[in-house]
Chains A and B, each alone.
Chain A
Amino acid sequence: MTASGLSVRGLDKTYETDNGMITAFIDVSFDIAPGEFVSILGPSGCGKTTLLHVIAGLEEESGGVVEVGGSRPASRAEVFGYMFQKDLLLPWVRVIDNVALGLVVNGVDRKEAQARSLEVMTKYGLGAFARAYACQLSGGMRQRAALIRTLLVGRPIMLLDEPFGALDALTRSTMQDWLLSVWEGEQGQDRRTVLFVTHDVQEAVFVSDRVLVMSQRPGRIKHVVDIELPRPRLRQELLASPRFGEYCAELLASIVEGAGDAVGQVH
């Protein structure tokens, strides 16, 4: 599986509600090179989850084009791995079968899927919880299981929708480190392309190569910042470095600018 680039051109999404037509986002265009880690940063309600849904094919775009590796994909599920904010582990199967779910759905024999899942789970410290049920794991562990589930399916582009938003701050930092170590662990051409959505400025700067700032609804990309910080991203060093702080300040200013008009709007 080689990583692919993602191109989005003029994407917009409008939908009907009881209150009339609502535009989630409008004229969104960007290019992501293979193996790049890009974040979309924006306030809550700006349409970034909808944008990810549309790219993944879970919702239909109202206009615009999504291209992977230069052409429109025939099946979105075959090029995108999606990770949700909720772990969405199924309560009725054990953790190992949850992690194996992606493989099983794609035709892999159950025993083999379980074996592969157990291997990766053990590598990342979840091996002992294979036979447990999801409700017996903590939030961080469930999100890790969910990420492994997505990784195992082996799609070239990963779409991560605020995967750590529901976790406490401490667990969130741990998970960011872990995500980066997993991603950086993939060598050369195998290193996947990642599109990461978040509302957390520090998180965006910490994990990405580039940050796209999205405006309030109707969302559009209003600012792009290249993050030139060395990899691997070491938390202690980065938090102490002035460049990190400057990036955060620049992005925060960009989000806040124009957000004053949005105060008082009902979402």
Chain B
Amino acid sequence: MAQVLRQSSNISAEAESATLAKARPPRASTQSRVTRRVKLYAPAAGLLVGLVALWQLIAAVAGIQSYVLPTPSSVLADAFGSDRSVLLTAASTTVIEILVGFGIAVSGGFVLSTLLVHSRIVNRAIYPLVIASQTIPTLAIAPVLIIWFGFGILPKVIVVTLFAFFPVVINTVAGMSSVDRDVIYLMRSLGSSRWQLFRWVRLPACLPNFFTGVKQAAVISVIGAVAGEWVGGQSGLGPLMIAANSGLETAVVFAAILYLSVMAITMFLIVSLVERFTIPWYFVAKATATTRQ
């Protein structure tokens, strides 16, 4: 390959090796993958374990009432022990609200973003409403939704969707509209149609932003579902937490929080995984940009 380069373009030897060096992807480190993974996650894991150990110590030894600060062991017992069926049933209701609301928010949000970017009049009409939608307090809207749609799952799904679609739209619109004008000129100079411009430029360009929005939406969906349940729900982890709180079963409350955290983290990780598969180029570009410095 070095010969081909030299013959066809008369590059000097130094320029050529500099060129070759830049063209190779960043070299893998000499550490094994396992070692690197351990180094990456060990600090967080260590801190977590340390805090939990400290908590266990304080709660068990300092003579604090179990309804003020339950021990981690009692929380884990409630969460995963033999009595966990109540929590699991509640969680299954909440999880459906989260996933359905999230799904609608992400797909609907993406479609809405595309419309907003491609039509100025739609943009002017709807974008302000998108922002205004976030100012509606849950406490106000949830009871109204229950009056309209009953006590079933629908009002909570609507609340989740309402919260979750906002970061998706804001981020995706920013990504689609921040395309370099020269790239648009390039596509026009090649004779591209508006659809081709979307398919080759605006769509791939917005994906990193889109995924940022989806990650935010994932986390908000979890909080949104619980908030919706608190204000007008009879089933799910929200009402369960309220009931447990009234009955001074603080360990159950903590267990419910643990379940919710696991849901949020799992969703976040799944989105990150999908991101890795969908936009591998983004991570290559980031890696190259940082190693260059």
Contact = CB atoms under 8 A, between A and B. Distances in A.
Interface of B: 1, 4-5, 7-12, 15, 18-19, 22-25, 180, 182-183, 185-192, 196, 200-201, 204-205, 207, 279, 281-282, 284-285, 288-289
A244 interface: no
Contacts of B23: 128-129, 132, 136-138, 141
A26 B198 CA distance: 35
A53 B191 CA distance: 14
A91 B8 contact: no
A124 interface: yes
Given A106-B190, A135-B289, A137-B22, A90 B201 contact: yes
A178 B22 CA distance: 21
A180 B12 CA distance: 18
Given A88-B183, A138-B19, A171-B15, A105 B188 contact: no
A88 B183 CA distance: 6
A92 B186 CA distance: 15
Contacts of B188: 57-58, 77
Contact of B182 (A77, A84, A133, A141): A84
B11 to A, nearest CB: 6
Contact of B196 (A92, A105, A122, A177): A105
Contact of B189 (A77, A93, A140, A177): A77
A91 B4 contact: no
A105 B186 contact: no
B191 A78 contact: yes
B285 A91 contact: yes
Contact of A132 (B1, B25, B187): B25
B270 to A, nearest CB: 22
B291 to A, nearest CB: 11
Contacts of A82: 185-186, 189
Nearest to B186: A88
Given A124-B9, A125-B4, A77 B190 contact: yes
A90 B196 CA distance: 14
Q: Is the interface of B mostly helix, strand, loop or mixed?
A: helix
A187 interface: no
A1 interface: no
27 contacts: A57-B188, A58-B188, A58-B189, A77-B190, A84-B182, A84-B186, A90-B183, A92-B207, A101-B190, A102-B190, A105-B192, A122-B4, A123-B8, A125-B8, A132-B23, A133-B288, A135-B285, A135-B289, A136-B23, A136-B284, A138-B18, A138-B22, A141-B23, A153-B190, A171-B15, A174-B9, A174-B11
Scoring B22, B205, B279 by chain A CB atoms within 10 A of each residue's CB, the highest score goes to B22
Contacts of B205: 92
A120 to B, nearest CB: 11
Interface of A: 53, 56-58, 75, 77-78, 80-82, 84, 86, 88, 90-93, 101-102, 105-106, 122-125, 127-129, 132-133, 135-138, 140-141, 153, 170-171, 174, 177-178
Given A138-B22, A141-B19, A153-B191, 12 more contacts: A75-B191, A77-B190, A80-B189, A92-B205, A92-B281, A105-B190, A105-B191, A124-B9, A125-B4, A136-B284, A171-B15, A174-B15
A88 B182 contact: yes
B31 to A, nearest CB: 23
B201 to A, nearest CB: 7
A129 B23 CA distance: 7
A199 to B, nearest CB: 18
A124 B128 CA distance: 52
A81 B190 CA distance: 7
Contacts of A174: 9-11, 15
Interface centre among A53, A57, A128 (most CB of B within 10 A): A128
A105 B200 CA distance: 9
B90 to A, nearest CB: 43
Contacts of B22: 136-138
B26 to A, nearest CB: 9
Contacts of B12: 170
Contacts of A140: 19
A56 B188 CA distance: 10
B271 to A, nearest CB: 19
Nearest 4 CB-CB pairings of A with B? A77-B191, A82-B189, A92-B204, A125-B8
A90 B191 CA distance: 16
Scoring B12, B23, B205 by chain A CB atoms within 10 A of each residue's CB, the highest score goes to: B23
Nearest to B285: A135
Given A105-B196, A138-B23, A141-B23, A125 B186 contact: no
B207 to A, nearest CB: 8
A178 B9 contact: yes
Nearest to A137: B23
Contact of B185 (A81, A84, A137, A171): A84
